[in-house]
Amino acid sequence: MVLKRKLPLLALFVLSSAASAETKKSGADQRKEVSITVYNQNFGLVREVRDLELGTGTVELEFRDVASLIQPETVSIKSLTNGSALSVLEQNYRFDLLTPAKLLEKHVGKKVRVWRWNEALGKDEGFDAKILSVAGGQPVMEVNGEITSDFPGRIAFPGVPDNLMSQPTLVWKLDSKSSKQAVEATYLTRNLNWRSDYVLVVNDSDTGGDLTGWVTLVNQSGASYKKAKLKLVAGDVQRVSDYRSRDEGEDLDGAPAAADKPRFAEESFFEYHLYTLSQPTDVLENEQKQVTLLEAKGAKIDKKLIYYGQQYWYRSQYGEVQKNQKVGVYLDLQNTKQNGLGMPLPKGTVRVYKADKSGAKQFIGEDHIDHTPRDERVRVKMGDAFDVVGDRRQMEWRTFGSCSSESTWEIELRNHKDKATRVEVYEPVGGEWTIVESTHKHQKKDAFTFTFDVEVPANGKTKVKYKVRVKWC
């Protein structure tokens, strides 16, 4: 008998303890401060501080207005008022959202009220019904003893199930030792992304230009952040790949639009670079925002025409191996303070423009650049030259034993422009090599490349001829 009396008392104690946990609700209106750090790998870190009236004891807190693409396992909460005044007993992330389809699904097997317009009475007429199935999206109901799947009316539900939320919500069971607290929550979310875009306008002589950098930020995380302190991290941050987001987000294509006046301040951060916006800004859901990153006037540009050969041609006898080969066009900029730059440049797309004779700017090419530290070269490939082409011929070839050969090559460069131009000829070569003779001075770039710097006259041509001995075993 004693055991039978103790069990109900224990159950009653558990129920009364659970019932004593008061539910508090917190939304974006209680935010005291919010900051977001966005990484150019389609994720971001959100930190927000809210002033809350929690009370004391065991408290259930519904923390609303968080990103719908939050990674719940990254959430952290702490009290800024008193570090020992708050401890987390349990955390849940509820993203089963309130929709008509979810309401139907949660009421399968339960009674509802259906209403249909009665022409004779001139008002809605109500019937008791039971939802039998919602498979296929069309509810099957029992109304007045009949089974129907196309009832012409509306359905009234007795209430909202406890496990359906109007928006994604973090729910904590907390042990609170102080009634009023400033609470900090941090978490990672998907689909916060940013990229860099650059606009380069070159001068008439292709020797200089103005470079403008833009930051384009896209928020598709499922939450808005008003008056947020915005920071951007540039670099390749290591992340594990087992997390799968529920949305892939926007591809971040397209050119930037107009920019606001605030600018970014840059600083080194760990092995990355951090860019902090000078003042708070609104980062709204499903919004694309542009802000100026840098402006450089009159940066020096080194225009290069480069003709590339191929390494495997040195292993056998080929004859003419290239005819009317295109010559690549590149623009080089030194990312230095002396050149008006000197800021670590995040990876992005450089779009290049030049004014025609009428003064109208025309688009002349674009290229993607990787993260570029200060004092390094930025190289932008523009495309291929229209009026400069080349042919490549193997004039002589002979072997020396089973793994050595000697060949003579002739490269003819033709310039159909009305002014002279210079072309860099890149000749990759494998094995152990020696230039026996050549018409132009060569420069060894590395163990497998040598180059020639060739001037080609206006409406003329230049031939480069050299003999190379190669040993590969």
Q: What is the C-alpha to C-alpha distance for residues 34 and 227, in angstroms, rounded to an integer?
A: 7
Q: Is the pLDDT assigned to residue 284 strictly greater than 60?
A: yes
Q: Is the pLDDT assigned to residue 285 strictly greater than 80?
A: yes
Picking from 36-50, 97-111, 178-192, 249-263, which range would have the lowest pLDDT averaged per residue? 249-263
Q: Token pair 């033709």 is at which residue?
A: 414
Task: List residues bridging with 345 in a β-sheet.
Answer: 372
Q: What is the C-alpha to C-alpha distance for residues 40 and 47, in angstroms, rounded to an integer?
A: 18
Name the nearest CA neighbour of 306 among 236, 246, 381, 356. 381
DSSP string across 412-466? EEEE-SSS-EEEEEEEE--SEEEEEEESS-EEEEETTEEEEEEEE-TTEEEEEEE
> In whole angstroms, how far apart are CA 201 and each of 4, 88, 341, 355, 372?
88, 56, 15, 8, 20
Q: What is the pLDDT of residues 327-385, one digit of tens each?
A: 999 999 999 999 999 999 999 999 999 999 999 999 999 999 999 999 999 999 999 99
Q: What is the C-alpha to C-alpha distance for residues 262 and 266, in angstroms, rounded to an integer?
A: 13
**Mean pLDDT in the chain?**
85
Name the nearest CA neighbour of 232 among 41, 426, 425, 464. 41
Q: What is the pLDDT of residues 154-204, one digit of tens each?
A: 899 888 877 666 677 888 999 999 999 999 999 999 999 999 999 999 999
pLDDT of residue 246: 43
Q: Is the pLDDT assigned to residue 248 strictly greater than 50?
A: no
Is 302-335+376-471 CATH 2.60.40.290? Answer: yes
Q: Is the pLDDT assigned to residue 240 strictly greater than 80?
A: no
Q: What is the C-alpha to C-alpha distance for residues 323 and 333, in angstroms, rounded to an integer?
A: 31
Q: Is the pLDDT assigned to residue 8 strictly greater than 70?
A: no
pTM, full prediction = 0.70
Q: What is the pLDDT of residues 164-178, one digit of tens each?
A: 666 778 889 999 999
Picking from 15-19, 140-144, 194-198, which range would have the lowest pLDDT averaged per residue? 15-19
pLDDT of residue 241: 60
Instruction: Give the residue, 35 or 324, on which the prediction is more confident.
Output: 35
Instruction: Give the residue, 254 or 443, on which the prediction is more confident.
Output: 443
Q: Is the pLDDT assigned to residue 314 strictly greater than 80?
A: no
